[in-house]
Amino acid sequence: MIYGFDFDGTLVESWTAKPLPGVRGRLAALPAGTHTFIATNQAGPVFRAVLGQAKYPSVEDVAQRLTDGLRALDWRPDLLLICVAPPLKHQQDYAWVRAASEAITALNVTIPGLIVRIGRDPTWRKPQPGMLFAAARYYDMRIRSMCYIGDMETDRQAARATGCGYLDAVAWRKGAAT
């Protein structure tokens, strides 16, 4: 079985590295040998580059937060998939596409033992299912042996588009069976 997780609002409080209540225990309770991955949209640095607004995170901010969040969770998935593609309405716009390419080059998340893949393919951006299909390919497993856990309607839509299972993060944190 493969368990995939959204990051913000699912494992940590959104835009922080602070674990949400119950998450550490739930992760620690996963059976040994369970495949786990994170699939997260992190286009903040692209907004920052194009709009020039410092309220959006830099690539360094994103890398630091993911690293700190995983450390705080005392857990490491096999695979971290990060999508920096901008929202659909900007995906044909050169400035946004270029900023996404630059974000891929500049975003450096290095955690020993963790495979990191960063993409700007529009099909990767949730609610599109590309990251979840990429995870299934990585494990060479059938999509039906995957369950994705997230907190947003876009997470549910991405999972539904692949045919994998889906569990709401609130229910999961409270102990719903995965």
Q: What mask, x for binding Mg ion by CB under 5 A, covers residues 138 to 167? A: -------------xx---------------
What is the three-state SS of 21-62? CCHHHHHHCCCCCCEEEEEEECCHHHHHHHHCCCCCCCHHHH
43 makes contact with Mg ion (CB under 5 A): no
7 contacts 38 by C-beta, under 8 angstroms: yes
CB neighbour burial string for 26-55, b if at least 16 within 10 angstroms, e if fewer: bbeeeeeeebbbbbbbbbbbbbbbbeeeee
Q: Distance of CA 144 to CAs 2, 81, 86, 160, Å? A: 9, 19, 28, 11
- Closest CB to Mg ion among 148 and 151? 151
Complex with Mg ion: residue 14 or 145, whichever CB lies closer: 14
Phi first, then psi: what are they for 42, rounded to 5°? Answer: -140, 70
By the rule CB under 5 A, 69 interacts with Mg ion: no
For residues 82-95, one letter each, b for 16 or more C-beta atoms within 10 angstroms of the residue's C-beta and e for the rest, the string is: bbbbbeeebeeeee
Total number of residues that touch Mg ion (CB under 5 A): 5
8 binds Mg ion (CB under 5 A): yes
Least separation, in Å, of the C-beta of 134 and Mg ion?
Answer: 18
Interaction of residue 6 with Mg ion, rule CB under 5 A: yes
Check residue 173 for interaction with Mg ion (CB under 5 A). Answer: no
Cβ of residue 30: shortest distance to Mg ion, in angstroms?
19
Give the nearest distance from C-beta 163 to Mg ion in angstroms.
21
Shortest gap between Cβ of 164 and Mg ion (angstroms)? 17
Find the binding residues for Mg ion in span 9-28 (CB under 5 A). Answer: 9
Q: Which CB, 4 or 151, lies closer to Mg ion?
A: 151
Binding site for Mg ion (CB under 5 A): 6, 8-9, 151-152
